[in-house]
């Protein structure tokens, strides 16, 4: 177990922690595009990118929430330029992508943070990166549910989707690296959000802002990463344990989440 734990730790690039983060504006361009920026990790990224001096294209389905986030960011970072684009990725994708393309036309967009799990937005940024002779960074969010633990019972479709995203991003990284396009899959394990069952931050459960700060340090390096370093310890531990034991624990954990959700729903109906 000890050998397995240490071997897994070696596969995680902790050396990134001692390197200064890249100057994203200088390296990739002055604009970043963030999908799903109105809550959770996407919102944390929007604030941290503005803090780093980048202007923002925020893509979401709720115009009121987009405006609220934009107002909050500009209150804190007054020099940040923000363009809001209303797109429902569950609807007409072609129309949505055209809307995004029109919004970023002529902008120096070099960073894409994708929280919606849709591959189509990448095509436009790939074309931009190849045509303008400048590097482009695309970050997709995976999940420990598909990569770190051997199974995620009761959440099979979610885990399978995240596994697809991991492989999808890795293939794009290999295909487009020579064209100056960096594709990276970032793998959070647990992040405290208002929407999640875990609401409080701790050593192993960072806040969305804390996770986003860590994630920005890893942009432009390895194709897959676990930016928040305590998660690396959990990843190494999970790989050191027998899969049957992890499967049994995960099933109990997921059943507990489902029961709490059902109880909450029943109380609302009363």
Q: Residue 136 contacts by C-beta under 8 Å, 6 or more apart in sequence?
A: 28, 29, 110, 111, 112, 125, 126, 128, 129, 180, 181, 182
- Within a domain: residue 264? no
End-to-end Cα separation, the chain, in angstroms: 49
- Within a domain: residue 61? yes
Instruction: Say what the pLDDT of residue 98 is.
Output: 81
- Within a domain: residue 261? no
Q: Give 60-93 pLDDT, tens digit per residue.
A: 999 999 999 999 999 999 999 999 999 887 777 7
DSSP-derived secondary structure letter, 181: E
User: Across residues 52-61, what is the average pLDDT?
Assistant: 94
- Within a domain: residue 49? yes
Q: Which residues are catalytic?
A: 158
* CATH number of the domain enclosing 128: 3.40.50.720
Cα Rg of the chain (Å, integer): 19
Instruction: Say what the pLDDT of residue 235 is.
Output: 81
Answer whether 181's CB lies under 8 Å from 171's CB. Answer: no
- Within a domain: residue 256? no
Quickly state the pLDDT bin for 267 (edges 50, 70, 90): confident
Instruction: Say what the pLDDT of residue 1 is.
Output: 53
Model confidence at 56: pLDDT above 90: yes
Q: Give 135-148 pLDDT, tens digit per residue.
A: 677 777 777 767 77
Q: Give 190-221 pLDDT, tens digit per residue.
A: 777 655 556 778 888 889 899 999 988 888 88
SS3 110: strand
**What tokens were used for 201?**
């931050």
Q: Give 16-25 pLDDT, tens digit per residue.
A: 555 667 788 8
Half-sphere exposure of 38 (CA within 13 A, CB side): 15
Scored b (16 or more CB within 10 A) or e, 83-112 reads: bbbebebeeeeeebbeebeebbeebebbbb
Instruction: Say what the pLDDT of residue 94 is.
Output: 75
Q: Give 110-130 pLDDT, tens digit per residue.
A: 888 888 766 555 655 555 555
- Within a domain: residue 13? yes
- Within a domain: residue 71? yes
Quickly state the pLDDT bin for 236 (edges 50, 70, 90): confident
Q: Residue 129 contacts by C-beta under 8 Å, 6 or more apart in sequence?
A: 110, 135, 136, 176, 179, 180, 181
DSSP-derived secondary structure letter, 104: H
SS3 123: helix
- The residue range of the domain holding 118 is 2-242
∠ CA 60-254-190, nearest 5°, is 50
Contacts by residues 151-160 (CB-CB < 8 Å, ≥ 24 positions apart): 151/243, 151/246, 151/247, 151/250, 152/250, 152/254, 153/247, 153/250, 153/251, 153/254, 154/251, 154/254, 154/255, 154/258, 155/254
**What tokens were used for 202?**
């701790």
Instruction: Say what the pLDDT of residue 201 is.
Output: 82
- When divided into structural domains, the chain yields a total of 1
Q: Give 140-191 pLDDT, tens digit per residue.
A: 777 776 777 788 888 888 888 888 888 888 888 898 888 778 888 888 887 7
More confident residue, 207 or 4: 207
- Within a domain: residue 65? yes
Model confidence at 9: pLDDT above 60: no
Instruction: Say what the pLDDT of residue 49 is.
Output: 95
């Amino acid at each position: 177990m000890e050998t397995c734990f240490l071997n897994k730790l070696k596969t995680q690039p902790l050396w990134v922690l001692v390197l200064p983060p890249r100057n994203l504006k200088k390296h990739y361009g002055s604009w970043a595009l963030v999908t799903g920026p109105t809550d959770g990790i996407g919102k944390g990224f929007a604030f941290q990118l503005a803090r780093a001096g980048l202007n923002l294209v925020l893509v979401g389905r709720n115009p009121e929430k987009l405006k609220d986030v934009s107002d909050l960011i500009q209150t804190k970072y007054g020099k940040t330029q923000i363009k809001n684009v209303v797109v429902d990725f569950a609807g007409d994708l072609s129309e949505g992508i055209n809307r995004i393309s029109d919004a970023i036309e002529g902008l120096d967009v070099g960073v894409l943070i994708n929280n919606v799990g849709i591959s189509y937005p990448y095509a436009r940024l790939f074309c931009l990166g190849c045509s303008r002779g400048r590097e482009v960074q695309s970050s997709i969010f995976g999940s420990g549910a598909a990569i770190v633990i051997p199974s995620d019972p009761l959440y099979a479709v979610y885990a399978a989707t995240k596994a697809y995203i991991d492989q999808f991003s890795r293939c794009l990284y290999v295909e487009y690296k020579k064209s100056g396009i960096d594709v990276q899959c970032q793998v959070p394990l647990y992040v405290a959000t208002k929407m999640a069952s875990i609401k409080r931050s701790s050593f192993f459960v960072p806040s969305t802002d804390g996770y986003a700060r860590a994630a920005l340090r890893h942009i432009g390096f390895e194709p897959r990463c676990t930016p928040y370093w305590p998660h690396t310890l959990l990843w190494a531990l999970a790989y050191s344990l027998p899969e049957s034991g992890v499967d049994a624990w995960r099933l109990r954990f997921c059943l507990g989440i489902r029961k709490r959700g059902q109880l909450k729903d029943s109380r609302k109906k009363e």
